[in-house]
A = this chain, B = another copy of it.
Amino acid sequence: MPLDLPSDSDTATLAETFRLLGDPTRLRILFFCLEAPRSVGDIAESLQLSQSLVSHHLRLLRGARLVRGNRLAKQIFYELSDKHVSGMLADMAHHVREDD
């Protein structure tokens, strides 16, 4: 199957997604939210990041619809919103442990 090349638009979309995944801080945030929805404060405290930094990164992830926030009382809980991406992340997390 020849798998013809993705269009420029699709390539741009994919690259943008990968670019967002390509930062260690954002990746940590995503993996943390992959286990369960997490509040901004919990992310900041658990990952030892400033609240501001977490919020900035969440904005980028939100913008690309990689993450979605649900308000519960004062807090906003973030979770992964793209099944392809969350599945792929779980996969990669598994693969990166193997040394084949």
Residues of A within 8 A of B (CB): 2-3, 5-6, 8, 10-24, 27-28, 31-32, 34-35, 84, 88, 90-93, 95-97
Contact = CB atoms under 8 A, between A and B. Distances in A.
Given A23-B15, A35-B3, A88 B90 contact: no
Contact of A3 (B19, B22, B93): B93
Contacts of A96: 6, 10, 13-14
The interface residues of chain A, by DSSP majority, are classed as helix
Nearest to A90: B3
A41 to B, nearest CB: 18
Given A3-B34, A3-B90, A14-B21, 4 more contacts: A6-B93, A8-B24, A15-B24, A16-B22
B6 A31 contact: yes
